[in-house]
Amino acid sequence: MRRAALPGVLLAVTLAVGGAQAAEPSRGAEQGPPATLQHPGLHPPVPEATTAPQRPGELDCRGCHQKKHRGVVEMYLGMGGHGTPMIPSHMFQVRVECVACHIAPKETEQERIGLVGQTFRPSEQACLNCHGAKYRGMLHQWTDTLERMGAVLTPKLQAVHDAIARADAGSPKLARARKLTADAEYNIRFVVFARGVHNVFYAADLLKLANGWLDEAVALLGRTPVGGDDQLVRGGYCAVLCHKAAGVTQTETVRFGRVTVPHVRHVSEFGATCTSCHSAEKHKAVTATAATCASCHHSPLNERCEGCHREQSAFYRGTAQVTLAKVAPNLMAAAVPCTGCHDWSKKPSRAALAEACRGCHEPQYTTILPEWTGGFRGEVRKTAEAVSRAEVALARARRGGRRAAEADALLRSAQEALALVRKGGAAHNPLAAGALLSAARDTAVQAAARAR
């Protein structure tokens, strides 16, 4: 459904709800429809018209029962929460009515139905009737996930209330903290009492906003945010609420502009959530920009470089393994992190990297980095040429029908060592790079000789 059409539908639903409430007095003496008449998408039987009450308040249910379904209706429409645009339920957008899901009769004893009426409860069978067996368990997954998200927020909300109670009444940040807390608490209560399962992604988005507001509020008051794993409530709920149950498989890598992005690793290893890059309002829409990527990857505050730059980290720290030799760690590995040399508050350049050496060493050390990068460029080229000659010799031997298992093993060892230096960056571990390149050249020469 287009957004432009929503206001009209909203008005229709609102009028329908109001009409249902107005007609409520006539239902007390009327038997509800039996379960066999309930079918997804069908309207319930229309009650016969009744006359208006003779006196104000006479048999008028609204005297005691007012707007009992208002919160549920607003949740289904995707409105009423704080901080989000209107996000209608996908089922509302295709005109799925209440009776499509509420198909299980609450009253089953025939002798009671004529006296107390009938109420229809939601049933998972309604999900299966429309979507098939693969959606079995999804309704439970929705309710369970929203409860787990709420459980993450409960201690955070309490911590903020405690911080506000102890805060200096004259603090200029107190009003902002109170506003954030009030908005967060409203969203939490809205999801609970309006039954977030009626619009599960809207509900999850409201809780995500509440989580961020509570963290911001407690930080404004000078307190440390409550710890714990809040990845689910930060926006990692798409897979849990839908993708896993529906059998959606994440792709290992995706293209973003001209870059191949390790899609799965961003969630499983780097702590990103679905809504870090995707819209919470529009399914599959990508909201990430180059600035989004840079805010995490090359931010001056980011010290998690090694999560992406694995080869460089392993080479620097001596954890990389190759057949030719054991890789010793760089002498600086125990004391200098990535950001000790790579300052992302400045434009990346070799000159900026060399200048970082002055932070620990004498000024003349600024000339060493160019020696490493320029000198090893020639060493890498010579090693690549030796490996290439061995590859040619081995290919010639295979064409001649000769088996050269030993030569093949030697060549693989040389290729492995060369690849490590290229990927790891010689400047990250110059001593190991020099030793590996030398050993790779010698091994490549041996491989070529044994292939003849």
Three-state secondary-structure class, residue 309: coil
Going by pLDDT thresholds of 50, 70 and 90, the confidence category of residue 182 is: very high
Q: Are 298 and 342 in contact (CB under 8 A)?
A: no
- Determine the Cα–Cα distance for residues 368 and 390; give it in Å rounded to an integer: 33
Whether residue 62 is contained in a domain is answered as: no
**Structural domains in the chain (count):** 3
Task: Give CA separation, 405 vs 221, 324, 408, 419, 442, in Å.
Answer: 69, 17, 5, 21, 18
For residue range 286-316, what is the model confidence (pLDDT) as tens digits? Answer: 888 888 887 777 665 556 677 778 889 999 9
Phi and psi torsions of 286, nearest 5° = -95, 125
User: Higher-confidence residue: 41 or 216?
Assistant: 216
Residues 32, 121: one domain?
yes
For residue range 401-425, what is the model confidence (pLDDT) as tens digits? Answer: 888 899 999 999 999 999 999 999 9
Residues 289, 385: one domain?
no
- Determine the Cα–Cα distance for residues 127 and 130; give it in Å rounded to an integer: 6
Residues 372, 254: one domain?
no
Three-state secondary-structure class, residue 121: strand
**Residue 87: how many other CB atoms lie within 10 Å:** 20
Going by the DSSP 8-state scheme, the letter that residue 133 receives in this structure is: G
Tokens representing 76?
A: 């289904």
Going by pLDDT thresholds of 50, 70 and 90, the confidence category of residue 25 is: very low
Residues 291, 374: one domain?
no
- Determine the Cα–Cα distance for residues 267 and 273; give it in Å rounded to an integer: 6
Whether residue 429 is contained in a domain is answered as: yes
Residues 7, 127: one domain?
yes
Residues 445, 376: one domain?
yes
Last residue of a domain, one of 241, 271, 297: 297
Whether residue 313 is contained in a domain is answered as: no
Which of 408, 414, 409 is closest to 382 using CA atoms?
Answer: 414
Tokens representing 186?
A: 């409203």
Whether residue 311 is contained in a domain is answered as: no
Evaluate if residue 192 carries a pLDDT over 90.
yes
Whether residue 57 is contained in a domain is answered as: no
Instruction: Give the range of the structural domain holding residue 260, as residue numbers without chain letter.
Output: 250-297
Residues 21, 97: one domain?
yes
Whether residue 352 is contained in a domain is answered as: yes
Whether residue 197 is contained in a domain is answered as: no
Span 132-142, mean pLDDT? Answer: 84
Residues 282, 397: one domain?
no
Evaluate if residue 140 carries a pLDDT over 70.
yes
Whether residue 99 is contained in a domain is answered as: yes
The model carries a pTM of 0.53
Residues 255, 362: one domain?
no
- Radius of gyration of the chain, Cα coordinates, nearest whole angstrom: 33
For the chain, counts of helices (H) and of strands (E): 20, 4
Which of 243, 250, 344 is closest to 293 using CA atoms?
Answer: 344
Residues 24, 75: one domain?
yes
Residues 351, 406: one domain?
yes
What is the pLDDT, as a whole number, of residue 436?
96
User: Higher-confidence residue: 3 or 266?
Assistant: 266
- Determine the Cα–Cα distance for residues 162 and 214; give it in Å rounded to an integer: 12
- Determine the Cα–Cα distance for residues 20 and 23; give it in Å rounded to an integer: 5
> Which amino acid makes up residue 331?
L
For residue range 71-86, what is the model confidence (pLDDT) as tens digits? Answer: 889 999 989 999 888 8
Span 194-208, mean pLDDT? Answer: 89
- Determine the Cα–Cα distance for residues 205 and 207; give it in Å rounded to an integer: 5
- Determine the Cα–Cα distance for residues 243 and 93; give it in Å rounded to an integer: 20
The CATH number that applies at residue 378 is 1.20.140
Say which range, 26-40, 270-284, 311-325, 357-371, has the weakest mean pLDDT.
26-40
Residues 342, 406: one domain?
yes
